[in-house]
Structure 1
Amino acid sequence: MRLMMFEASGGPRLGVVDGDKVIDVAAADPALPKTMLALIEAGPEALSRVAAAVKGAGDGAVQALKDVKPALPIEKPGKFICVGLNYAAHAREGGHEPPKYPSLFVRWPSSLVAAEAPVILPKVCDQLDYEAELTFVIGKGGRAIPEDKGLDHVFGYTLFNDVSVRAWQRYTPQWTQGKNFDGTGPLGPVVVTPDELPAGASGLRITSRVNGETRQDSNTGDLIFGVARLVEILSEFMTLEPGDVVATGTPSGVAHAMKPPGWMKAGDRVEVEVEGIGILGNPIVAES
């Protein structure tokens, strides 16, 4: 199933994407969860009820996908965990050896933006970089989850562009400030359930484009730490909870490694694509 949140007059609503249409879940059955997070928290049975409801939805519940405005799939994740240097070639282009343990940092909700919303080029720095990332959403929470059970805890997969303000990222050995400027974290637009993808979303082409020019082109099968292993590692020291979001890292081809660097600028359009999931696109707009 392909799920999304979209803007509506009474606030964001949960929808199921079917080809070029979106079925409004609340319009199909008002008793169903009304947000992605509520659906996740309601468990697998609720997902089955959504599937049944949208099959019988009337015309009043259906909208054209092109006419809806995407909202963040999860507006304020309890935890948004990012994995750095998780593709060997990307680690090396930044001057690092592939890690034996993943580099981890966090994103704050104030940095996140929905698909098609502006990504903000800050006044204080013009070193704005893109990072295409396969991202997963936790469905069933837990602690000390073994790798062979890790995928049982994944609700679905989405897209993230870990837009980075590189100069700020380099100010200290940890990257928090360069990764959390307001309006620099595009997420979405859809969350795809695991049954529609290969196990662990492995073996999928992942690309980024700036103004139609391909900058990154790799495969999620090249992840050093795959989805199940990341669930194991993260749950060793924290309780994973429904709705937590994990971005798995970016492949080689980022702007700072180009000669000269190919920073994004105001007026550009950036897109992230993962095979089987879709496209996350955003314009770049200068901070006012």
Structure 2
Amino acid sequence: MKLGSFHIAGRDTFGVVTEGGIVDLGERLGGRCRSLRELLALDDGLELARRTAAQARQPDAALEVVQYLPVVPDARKVFCIGVNYADHLEETRIRKSPYPTVFMRYAESQVAHGQPLLHPRESAQFDFEGEVALVIGRGGRRIRSEDAWSHVAGYACYNDGSVRDWQFHTTQWGPGKNFAATGGFGPWMVTADELDVQSKPLQLTTRLNGAVVQQSDTNLMIFPIPELIAYCSTLLPLAPGDVIVTGTPGGVGMARNPPLFLQVGDRVEVEVSGIGVLCNEVRMD
């Protein structure tokens, strides 16, 4: 099942994506939940979404007429994982750590599929980072890695757009990862029951103006998904709708010779097998 957040007819809502369009759960579920995050917090939220979509005689809106929103626009926590693929670790010459590299993004720094990524005027080093994001469905604190898969609601495409000079002003990466409208999140999430990530890794491909610049799969992560969930949930309790962005593989623009930074008018696509394609064009902020 594909779930996403959208702007339809002057209001923000969320729904199930079908072949014919959007089944508007925000409208159909009345006041029971107002967002995808609130749906995920219900014990029967995913089943309620499936049942509502199955009962709908037709979609409420065509995909062509809605405006996408970030998959979880109001995520309370967005954990991002740095240098989590060996080829990216090598190209950046960052020393391998025995623990995951974790930094935080603010939800306000994200844009949706089809919305522009904004190139900060303060920098000439705006970079792409295609990644797989996971959305938490069942919360918890100090989740054991062997129990972690049951806490995943679904997966989505992510572009952790990075302003490199600001990222490395100091050893703290936060500034370069939180400029307004630099992270892409979408177009929707696919529920975990439809993606057997444990036995069939997700294939990740990033394209810049149609040319492949990154390609890998989730089996090549240094710290696999269960370890990331266990580690992040040790810091703070994970809650439904929280997001963990699992890291980018090699091929980023910063590490190329010469560097390949994003320019105004560029088109960046992040594709994840079984999920879809996140597409954003670059505009100047």
Q: Give 1:27 shift.
A: 4.4
Is the 1:200–1:228 contact (alpha carbons within 8 Å) kept by the matching residues of 2?
Answer: no
Taking a change above 3 Å as real, the CA distance of residues 68 and 166 of structure 1, as seen in their structure-2 partners, is: same
Is the 2:139–2:238 contact (alpha carbons within 8 Å) kept by the matching residues of 1?
Answer: yes
Give the aligned partner of residue 204 of structure 2: 206
1:49 and 1:244 map into 2 onto residues whose CA distance is 20
Q: Give 1:200 shift.
A: 4.9
Letter matched to residue 221 of structure 2? L
- SS of the aligned residue for 2:114 comes to coil
Within a 5 Å distance, the mapping from 1:212-227 to structure 2 comes to: 212-227=210-225
Give the aligned partner of residue 272 of structure 1: 270
Within a 5 Å distance, the mapping from 1:157-172 to structure 2 comes to: 157-172=155-170
Q: Give 1:65 shift.
A: 2.0
Is the 1:133–1:250 contact (alpha carbons within 8 Å) kept by the matching residues of 2?
Answer: yes
Within a 5 Å distance, the mapping from 1:184-195 to structure 2 comes to: 184-195=182-193
1:141 and 1:252 map into 2 onto residues whose CA distance is 31
* 1:56 aligns to 2:60 (yes or no): no
- SS of the aligned residue for 2:40 comes to helix
Gaps in structure 2 of 5+ consecutive residues: none
Per mean C-alpha deviation after superposition, the further-off stretch among 135-144 and 5-14 is 5-14
Is the 2:136–2:154 contact (alpha carbons within 8 Å) kept by the matching residues of 1?
Answer: yes
Taking a change above 3 Å as real, the CA distance of residues 217 and 9 of structure 1, as seen in their structure-2 partners, is: same
Gaps in structure 1 of 5+ consecutive residues: none
CA RMSD of aligned residues (A): 1.6
The equivalent position to 1:235 in structure 2, one of 233, 236, 246, is: 233
Taking a change above 3 Å as real, the CA distance of residues 41 and 102 of structure 1, as seen in their structure-2 partners, is: same
Letter matched to residue 51 of structure 1? R
2:97 and 2:277 map into 1 onto residues whose CA distance is 29
1:97 and 1:88 map into 2 onto residues whose CA distance is 11
- SS of the aligned residue for 2:68 comes to coil
Give the aligned partner of residue 3 of structure 2: 3
1:201 and 1:39 map into 2 onto residues whose CA distance is 28
Give the aligned partner of residue 40 of structure 2: 40
* 1:284 aligns to 2:277 (yes or no): no
Is the 2:112–2:185 contact (alpha carbons within 8 Å) kept by the matching residues of 1?
Answer: yes
- SS of the aligned residue for 1:207 comes to strand
1:38 and 1:237 map into 2 onto residues whose CA distance is 22
Q: Give 1:32 shift.
A: 5.2
- SS of the aligned residue for 1:17 comes to strand
Q: Give 1:26 shift.
A: 3.8
Taking a change above 3 Å as real, the CA distance of residues 103 and 38 of structure 1, as seen in their structure-2 partners, is: same
- SS of the aligned residue for 1:92 comes to helix
Q: Give 1:150 shift.
A: 0.6
- SS of the aligned residue for 2:184 comes to strand
2:38 and 2:71 map into 1 onto residues whose CA distance is 11
- SS of the aligned residue for 2:61 comes to strand
- SS of the aligned residue for 2:69 comes to coil
Count of residue pairs the alignment pairs up: 285
User: Percent identity between the aligned chains?
Assistant: 38
The Cα offsets for residues 190-235 of structure 1, whole Å up to 9 and x where unpaired, read as: 0111011013585121011111111001111101111111111112
Taking a change above 3 Å as real, the CA distance of residues 16 and 32 of structure 1, as seen in their structure-2 partners, is: farther
- SS of the aligned residue for 1:63 comes to coil
Q: Give 1:46 shift.
A: 2.5
The equivalent position to 1:79 in structure 2, one of 44, 53, 77, is: 77
